[in-house]
Amino acid sequence: MTQRDVGARGVAGYLAGTMETIVTTYANTVFELEGLGTLDLRERVGESERTLLAAAGLHGAFAVLSAFPPFGAARDEARATLLTHRLRGLIGLHGVPAVPLLARSPDGSHREPSVAARIDEPTALAIARFFEQDALFWFDGERFSIRWTSSRPTTILPLPA
C-alpha cells in the first residue's frame, strides 16, 4: 500500500475499498463442473442448478475449497497444483470424494482449480485456514455463501443488485 493508494480516503477507507473489491470478486465466481456445465454464483440457485449439482454427486450441504494462493498473492502454478493435490488427499481422509471443479471469473481470465466436498462447515473452515485461504464457498442446500476464515461476517450470495 502506497500513499498514493491511500489518498484522501485514509487507511480505513483504503482497506474497506479493498475488502469490497475482494467480496465482489469472490461473489462473481462461476463454477465449471467438468463435462456437466457451469453454475454462476451471481444468480440464485434454481432447479437446473440443483440438477447440475446432483449430477456431480453434490446433494445437501458442501464446501468448495481451493489450495491456490489467496486473493492478490503471487501465483506459482506448479506449487498451486501440488497444493491442490494435497487438498484432495486431505479431503479423502474425511471419507468423502473431492469433486473437481474450476472456479473462474466470468470472463475466464482467472481460473482456479478447486474441489467441492460434503464435509461439515467447521472442518471446511479448518482446511481453508490450513491452506491459508481468505474464504471458502459454502452451499447449505439452498444457497451459496462466502464463509471467511477471519471473523468477517458471512456473505450471502448472490449479492443484492
Domain holding 118, by residue range, is: 28-156
Report yes or no on 8 lying in a domain: no
Residue 6, in any domain of the structure: no
* 130 part of a folded domain: yes
Residue 16 located in a structural domain:
no
Q: How many domains does the chain have?
A: 1
How does pLDDT run along the chain (161 residues), one tens digit per residue?
Answer: 444 544 554 545 444 557 788 899 999 999 999 999 999 999 999 999 999 999 999 999 999 999 987 766 777 888 888 999 999 999 999 999 999 999 999 999 988 999 999 999 999 999 999 999 999 999 999 999 999 999 899 999 999 98
What pLDDT, on a 0 to 100 scale, did the predictor assign at position 16?
A: 55
Has residue 76 been placed in a domain? yes
Mean pLDDT computed over every residue of the chain: 89
For position 17, what pLDDT does the model report?
56
pLDDT at position 3, please? 45
Rounded to a whole number of angstroms, the CA Rg of the chain reads: 16
- Domain membership of residue 22 (yes or no) is no
Other Cβ atoms closer than 10 A to 4: 6
Q: How far is CA 105 from CA 11, 28, 60, 64, 143, in A?
A: 28, 7, 25, 15, 19
161 occurs within a structural domain: no
Do 116 and 56 meet the contact criterion of CB atoms below 8 Å apart?
yes
pLDDT of 22 reads: 87
List the grid coordinates of 35.
463435462
83 found inside a domain: yes
